[in-house]
Amino acid sequence: MPHKPPTKEELERRKIVGINEETITDVSSTDFPGHYPGEDHSWDIESFRRGFRIEFHQNDPFEASFSLIGVDASIANAFRRIMIADIPTLAIETVFINNNTSVIQDEVLSHRLGLIPFKGGHEGLHKFLKWWRKPTDEALVNNSYYDYNTVSLRLEVQCEHNDKAAAGETDPTKLYKHAHVYARDIEFCPVGRQDKYFSGADIIAPVNPDILIAKLRPGQEISLSMHMHKGVGSDHAKFSPVATASYRLMPVIKIERPILGRDAEKFARCFPRGVIGLEKVTKKEAAQKGSGYEGHDGELKAVVVDPMRDTVSRECLRHDEFKGKVKLGRRRDHFIYLVESTGQWESDAIFLEAVAHLKKRAADLEKQVINMVR
Amino acid sequence: MPRATARKEEPAEAGSDIVMDEAPTSHQPEGRDDMSVDQDDENDEAGDVEEDDAEEEEEEDVQRVRLLPGSTPTAASFEFLNEGHTLGNALRYIIMKNRDVEFCAYAIPHPSEAKMNVRIQTFEGTTAIQALEKGLQDLQELCDVVTDKFIDAREKFAASASS
């Protein structure tokens, strides 16, 4: 029997993960050779190129949102994981405490400092700075710091009484000088060629200068120096370039039978604002036999306006009046990413870097496999 | 009768399995086993001075992929060091897309060992190693397409936002 190629509807149906009141259906992808008799589905770069699409929804330095359409979850997840754990950033790794008489313990203070995100000139951060690896021999550690692998910072704050404070003042920030230690008090100490890469607007500085590090009272002092190194998120979360990098599948709402009048209004309230719109039933629709609109000319009907904004709460499935009238689902190959950068990289650059990283990993392993066979 | 003899052969095969088990579970660069410990140490000390400069290259030289014992040309297991779900699942997908591959799966045998195993079984006409190589190449091609389309989409979005 000759095999019929799948219809457009069939192909569309295969892409939908069904969401019912209590269960989900069709979770796994089926686009593998041998899954459907007579169909190919083997990897072909040209057909991938034809079917693959990217759409941007937002592209700001600290937040980018875009859709990858026509790619498998394993690939999309690899990009997400790489963004979180494998893209290098610069963060405080070592803290040398000269004096800390504040109420915050040295180790807690060090941990807080490590988590502060920093920014700086892109060329310097991404090209000039290299990895620092701790020498196995302790005696060599002090000779392992160079301008291209270590950035040094300083934090010197002393709290004193403010003589100019008004009598009866109770606000500690006015009563004392340096009662609060902020990230902006951290000072960058360039060495060697770092002046060239990190000066002016490109200086190494906290992304957010208003991060509160510690509170002091008169007589207390924090005096420390810090070393920043490059690292990756798999080692410590402070090195992750993103606050979050996540994706969700595109929601699908299919109204199968008309939802009219007051029901339509209630239906719209089952979804976040903007997902469901209300439109008037046209004369033409009302005249059409079997459409379900007969005799409802001019009434309001529910229409899907923007399914992307839906949270797939399934609220509409709880009400009897919508039983059998609506089908919820998600598009298996439509990934809506949300990437929030911590500020060292631009959000869209993080994704591009993740793609480049995956490619390099694959290229390295290809060499390894060839080497293994030899 | 033939069946009985086949059964009797099984323990012998199991015995050969034990021999395979004796192969070190952790990966060692080939040829290291033959060297004496002293020789190793001497090499390390001599290499220490140069290591700082050639560090990045040195790391690439470490063999991270290994063919696990018991493999045949069309059915093989590979052990990847320092790889996880990120590459494992992506690689599994792209190898499964190969029509000459009968079976492909990946596993991380234990979370506290930085190892990832990939099992590939192919139909006649190709080998598991070829399928693995093709998978890695396809993955690189895929990344190129994603990069191109991403840059295009970003430009288009910037143009539509400014106009």
User: Is pLDDT at A326 greater than 50 in this prediction?
Assistant: yes
Least reliable range by pLDDT among A2-16, A65-79, B33-47 = B33-47
Residue A1's pLDDT band (cuts 50, 70, 90)? low
Within an 8 Å CB–CB cutoff, is residue B64 touching chain A? Answer: yes
The two tokens of residue B152 are 């295009």
Residue A148's pLDDT band (cuts 50, 70, 90)? very high
Within an 8 Å CB–CB cutoff, is residue B151 touching chain A? Answer: yes
For tokens 């991938």, what's the residue? Answer: A48
DSSP state of A193: T
Nearest C-alpha of chain B: how many angstroms from A207? 24
Residue-level pLDDT at B44:
43
CA distances from A227 to A234, A278, A320 (A): 20, 59, 63
Residues in chain A: 374
Q: Are strands A118-119 and A89-100 parallel, antiparallel or unpaired?
A: unpaired
Chain A CB contacts of B78 under 8 Å are: 369
Residue A293's pLDDT band (cuts 50, 70, 90)? confident
CA distances from B96 to A52, A75, A324, B11 (A): 19, 13, 37, 34
**Mean pLDDT of all residues belonging to chain A:** 94
Residue-level pLDDT at B49:
41
Tell me which residues of chain B, numbers 111 to 130, contact chain A at a CB-CB cutoff of 8 Å.
129
DSSP state of A367: H
Instruction: Write down the pTM of the prediction.
Output: 0.85
Residue-level pLDDT at B29:
45
Tell me which residues of chain B, numbers 77 to 96, contact chain A at a CB-CB cutoff of 8 Å.
78, 80, 83, 85-87, 89-94, 96
Residue B43's pLDDT band (cuts 50, 70, 90)? very low
Chain B nearest-CA residue for A78: B86
Chain A CB contacts of B63 under 8 Å are: 368, 371-372
For tokens 């807690």, what's the residue? Answer: A108
Nearest C-alpha of chain A: how many angstroms from B113? 14
- Beta partners for B67? B78
Kindly provide the b/e burial profile for residues A236-249, where b requires at least 16 CB atoms within 10 angstroms of the residue's own CB.
Answer: eebbbbbeebebeb
User: Is pLDDT at A354 greater than 50 in this prediction?
Assistant: yes
DSSP H helices, A104-197, are: 106-114, 122-123, 172-175, 194-197
For chain B, give every domain's residue range.
Answer: 65-162
Chain B CB contacts of A52 under 8 Å are: 145-146, 149
The sign of the torsion formed by the CA atoms of B86, B89, B93, B96 equals: positive
Chain A nearest-CA residue for B78: A369
For chain A, how big is the Rg over CA atoms in Å?
29
Residue-level pLDDT at A78:
97
Within an 8 Å CB–CB cutoff, is residue B139 touching chain A? Answer: yes
CA B161 – CA A172 distance, rounded (Å): 46
CATH architecture for the domain at A28-87+244-250+331-374: 2-Layer Sandwich (3.30)
Q: Are strands A180-182 and A300-304 parallel, antiparallel or unpaired?
A: unpaired
CATH topology agreement for domains A89-239 and A257-324: no
Kindly state the average pLDDT of the residues A341-363: 96
Cα A86–A89–A94 angle (5° rounding)?
Answer: 115
Chain B nearest-CA residue for A58: B157
Residue-level pLDDT at B159:
94
- Which one has a higher pLDDT value, A48 or B28? A48
Residue-level pLDDT at A283:
86
Assign domain B65-162 to a CATH class. alpha beta
Kindly state the average pLDDT of the residues A145-150: 93
- In tens, the pLDDT along B56-71 reads 444 557 899 999 999 9
% of chain A surpassing 90 pLDDT? 87
Q: Are strands A221-231 and A187-189 parallel, antiparallel or unpaired?
A: unpaired
Within an 8 Å CB–CB cutoff, is residue B136 touching chain A? Answer: yes
User: Is pLDDT at A280 greater than 50 in this prediction?
Assistant: yes
The two tokens of residue A58 are 């937002």
Of B145, B150, B153, the CB nearest to A49: B145
Chain A nearest-CA residue for B93: A74
Residue-level pLDDT at B50:
41
Chain-chain contact of B86 with A78 (C-beta, under 8 angstroms)? yes
Residue B39's pLDDT band (cuts 50, 70, 90)? very low
Chain B nearest-CA residue for A141: B52
The two tokens of residue A155 are 């934090």
Residue-level pLDDT at A138:
87
Long-range interactions of A202-205: CB distance < 8 A, separation 24+: A202/A120, A202/A121, A202/A122, A202/A123, A202/A124, A203/A120, A203/A121, A204/A90, A204/A118, A204/A119, A204/A120, A204/A151, A204/A153, A204/A228, A205/A118, A205/A119, A205/A120
Assigned CATH for A89-239: 2.170.120.12
Kindly state the average pLDDT of the residues A348-361: 96
Helix (H) or strand (E) holding A297: none
Least reliable range by pLDDT among A9-18, A105-114, A262-271, B11-20 = B11-20
Q: What is the ipTM of this complex?
A: 0.91
Chain B nearest-CA residue for A361: B87
SS (H, E, C) B57-126: HHHHHCCCEEECCCCECCEEEEEEECCCHHHHHHHHHHHHCCCCEEEEEEECCCCCCCEEEEEEEECCCC
Beta-carbon contacts of A162 under 8 Å, excluding residues fewer than 6 positions away, are A174, A175, A176, A177
Kindly state the average pLDDT of the residues A289-310: 89
Chain A CB contacts of B151 under 8 Å are: 352
CA distances from A44 to A9, A361, B104, B135, B137 (A): 22, 21, 18, 12, 12
For tokens 């297991």, what's the residue? Answer: B77
- Which one has a higher pLDDT value, B53 or B99? B99
SS3 A242: strand
- In tens, the pLDDT along A184-238 reads 999 999 999 999 999 999 999 999 999 999 999 999 999 999 999 999 999 999 9
CA A363 – CA A280 distance, rounded (Å): 57
Instruction: Find out whether B139 and B92 touch, Cβ atoms under 8 Å.
Output: no
Assigned CATH for A257-324: 3.30.1360.10
Of B65, B157, B161, the CB nearest to A372: B65
For tokens 């704050």, what's the residue? Answer: A157
Residue-level pLDDT at A288:
83
CA A60 – CA A339 distance, rounded (Å): 10
Chain-chain contact of B90 with A358 (C-beta, under 8 angstroms)? yes
For chain A, give every domain's residue range.
Answer: 28-87+244-250+331-374, 89-239, 257-324
